[in-house]
Amino acid sequence: MAEGDISFDPNRNYDDETLSLQREIEKEIAENQELIGPMQPIEELIEHYAKEDQIYRHKLMDLRKRHSHIRKVRGDGNCFFRGFGFAYLESLLTDEAEFARFKDIAVKSKDNLVALGYSQFTIEDFHDTFMDVVGQVEKKVSVDELQNVFNDQGISDYFVVYLRLIVSGHLQKESDFYSSFIEGGRTAKEFCSQEVEPMGKESDHIHIIALATALGTCVLVEYMDRSGEICNQLVFPEEGARPAVHLLYRPGHYDIVYSLTSD
Amino acid sequence: MASMEKRLQKELQAMTKDPPPGVQVDQESCSRVMNEWIVDLEGATGTLYEAEKFQLQFKFGSKYPFDSPQVTFLGPNIPIHPHVYSNGHICLSILTEDWSPALSVQSVCLSIVSMLSSCTEKKRPPDNAIYVKTCSKNPKKTRWWYHDDTV
């Protein structure tokens, strides 16, 4: 058949077919990757890349100099939020002072959102679950238990929604500052309702900066793509303190990594 | 998941206590089945739809609020509007792509009222005839193109 030989059958429902294919792909990803996976040595990742793939193998060796382990996060468009959420709470399990500071922000965040015009009962719903998870950290559950909490889709997704709302609230509150980083001539509010609040919308620098700033913490991202020789490291926000969360970015996806020194 | 029912209970309370102007939940419909609501809507004063009465049907799936509700106009009076098809389907981005779990029945109703209120000419979407003939019964199964936010 010649290329470009496209036929249209008016009796077929193409939208249905596209959507069911999309569901199948989502299901396959869900079956193969937990929301938050186990900790694995970085070396295991190297095996995933072919011997011929010198660029990635080289970059992984570079990454190995700074990070010992990786924890994979399901690729469902929420990986930044879920990965950040887990890694940050995991770090708080062993840092009481930082936990107290964070809890204070978390408690107050609800009123900020209601003040911005979000309806009280939807915010409360998500905030309650969010604080339940935060409460688990206060009880000092084990890392495995925290992982179980994040693998319970109901709770985990509620947590992700609330982190998305924190970012949305922050971007709208500080819209004067962020408006120049928003693409497509959209207002902060439009950007938030299209790119931040809906589940599954992927995250960019602006999401990371907003979340780190809103929570008063710091995130380090190792960028691993096909350009250059080594991974580029970016810290958000730039003038931040010691990063509490380390993530590995490969095009379209974030996983959690653990640095050699901090653990 | 029971979170869906808990959430709908809260939504119903909020809609009963503090409904957006011109919007009213048909209590009887919700008492029959919790996941299917009928909402009565009245066109706002000073707009093309002033004093017209419409009905919206909301259907909530088990994944609500993570999945958007299925929302269509129902009954004898389907508004003539560039984003409303004659079978009641509505082309509105927050009902599919831009849905967020933080939205609610209230915010959907407000968006629909404002969509009607900002209309300057009563007409059907240009592809109404072919769409109504070929679409799925469920508007969420349509992959919409949101071409014009200003109407």
**B-contacting residues of A 108-127, CB under 8 Å?**
118-119, 121-123, 125-126
The alpha carbons of chain B give a radius of gyration, in whole angstroms, of: 15
Inter-chain contacts counted by CB atoms under 8 A, chains A and B: 59
CA atoms within 13 A on the CB side of A187: 5
Output the pLDDT for position A5.
58
Q: Answer yes or no: is pLDDT of B18 > 90.
A: no
Are A67 and A260 in contact by the 8 Å Cβ rule? The answer is yes
Structural domains present in chain A: 41-259 (1.20.1300.20)
Q: Tens digit of pLDDT for each residue in B112-136?
A: 999 999 999 999 999 999 888 888 8
Domain B3-140 sits in CATH at 3.10.110.10
- Interchain contact, B100 vs A16, CB within 8 Å: no
**One pLDDT digit (tens) per residue for chain A, 263 residues:** 444 556 767 667 777 777 788 888 788 877 788 999 999 999 888 887 877 788 888 899 899 999 999 999 999 999 999 999 999 999 999 999 999 999 999 999 999 899 988 888 889 989 999 999 999 999 999 999 999 999 999 899 999 999 999 999 999 999 999 998 998 889 999 999 999 999 999 999 999 999 999 999 999 999 998 888 889 999 999 876 789 999 999 999 999 999 987 44
Query: Which DSSP helix (H) or strand (E) runs through B23?
Result: strand B23-25
Band the pLDDT of B150: cuts 50, 70, 90. low
**End-to-end Cα distance, chain A:** 58
Contact residues, chain B, for A123 at CB < 8 Å: 102
User: What is residue B146's predicted lDDT score, i.e. its pLDDT?
Assistant: 67
pLDDT greater than 90 at residue B145? no
Domain residue spans in chain B? 3-140
Q: A122–B101: do the CB atoms touch at under 8 Å?
A: yes
Measure the CA–CA gap between A162 and A200, rounded to whole angstroms: 13
- A148/B73 Cα distance (integer angstroms): 42
Structure tokens at A17: 């077919």
Beta strand spans in chain A (E)? 36-41, 67-73, 219-223, 232-236, 245-250, 253-259
Tokens of B44: 């706002």
- Tell me, what's the pLDDT at A263? 44
Inspect the interface and report whether the beta carbons of B7 and A194 lie closer than 8 Å: no
pLDDT in tens, B32-50: 788 999 999 999 999 999 9
In which order are the strands placed within the sheet that holds A232-236? A36-41, A67-73, A253-259, A245-250, A219-223, A232-236
Instruction: Find the mean pLDDT for residues B65-88.
Output: 94
Contacts of A85 (CB under 8 A, 6+ apart): A150, A159, A160, A163
Confidence of residue B148 (pLDDT cuts 50, 70, 90): low
Closest C-alpha to A199, from A151, A160, A155: A160
Paired sense of beta strands A245-250 and B23-25, if any: unpaired
Both tokens of B137, joined, read 């019964």
Residue A143 CA to residue A92 CA, distance in Å, equals 11
C-alpha distances out from residue B116 to A193, B48, B148, Å? 20, 8, 14
Residue A135 at interface with chain B, using a CB cutoff of 8 Å: no
Q: H/E element holding B56?
A: strand B53-59
Q: What is the nearest CA distance from A222 to chain B, expressed in angstroms?
A: 29
Q: Check residue A2 and give its pLDDT.
A: 46
pLDDT of residue A34: 94
Instruction: Give the minimum alpha-carbon distance from A32 to chain B in angstroms, rounded to a whole number.
Output: 21
The interface pTM score, or ipTM, of the predicted complex is: 0.79
End-to-end CA distance of chain B: 38
Q: Which residues of B touch A194 (CB under 8 A)?
A: 93, 97-98
CA gap A243, A67 in Å, rounded: 13
